[in-house]
A and B are shown apart, each in its own frame.
Chain A
Amino acid sequence: EVQLVESGGELVKPGGSLRLSCAASRFTVSNAWMSWVRQAPGKGLEWVGRIKSEVDGGTAEYAAPVRGRFTISRDNSKNTLYLQMNSLITEDTAVYYCATGVSAPECYWGQGTLVTVSS
């Protein structure tokens, strides 16, 4: 079965940077549209951004609150998706999920990784 495993979440100070990883198994990240979704404590789901498959151009789009600060990329050799987060603010505190297949018959989510931005 397809598995997505996020890692990299930790406590970071405001203004700091962090890179989250989403390692895929039984699935090729370069062939899929991949998304990052976050959920602040006690709040709803928020779409962060997504990257198209390489065959569809591989471009990324971002939600307004993170545009210019966050970057989605992937390493095909490691079959891993990344979320580089810079200039972090307290409002970025959330569980971050990677997901794929939103518009396809099969949809997969990772278990999430917690990012806490606090001084």
Chain B
Amino acid sequence: DIQMTQSPSAMSASVGDRVTITCRASQGISNNLAWFQQKPGKVPKRLIYAASSLQSGVPSRFIGSGSGTEFTLTISSLQPEDFATYYCLQHDLYRWTFGQGTKVDIK
């Protein structure tokens, strides 16, 4: 099965900061990757699909990039509502895998 290594597992940041989260796949997955945001007690919300396509209604400060084995989610200017946990999900071939998650909290 494909393994997803997500980093960092946690980070502290300030409003206005540029934040970068990375997911690395154990083998190539083309662009079959999505990014989700989850706030405590809430259902996960998809931000990015096909590695770099912005979900309708999601602010443009969320930017997905990458292909193959290296993927990045960038938040260009962190806003108060962005403090949450972020997950990548690879959905290549048969069995899908989430990254371990990155918790972004307030510095």
Residue ranges of A at the interface with B (Cβ–Cβ < 8 Å)? 35, 37, 44-47, 50, 61-64, 97, 102-107, 109-112
Contact = CB atoms under 8 A, between A and B. Distances in A.
Interface of B: 1, 32, 34, 36, 38, 43-44, 46, 49-50, 53, 55-56, 85, 87, 89, 91, 94-101
B86 to A, nearest CB: 10
B100 A44 contact: yes
22 contacts: A35-B96, A44-B87, A44-B99, A44-B100, A44-B101, A45-B44, A45-B87, A45-B101, A46-B98, A47-B95, A47-B96, A47-B98, A61-B95, A64-B1, A102-B34, A102-B91, A103-B50, A103-B91, A104-B49, A105-B55, A107-B34, A110-B43
Given A44-B99, A45-B101, A102-B49, 7 more contacts: A45-B89, A47-B89, A47-B98, A64-B1, A105-B55, A107-B55, A111-B43
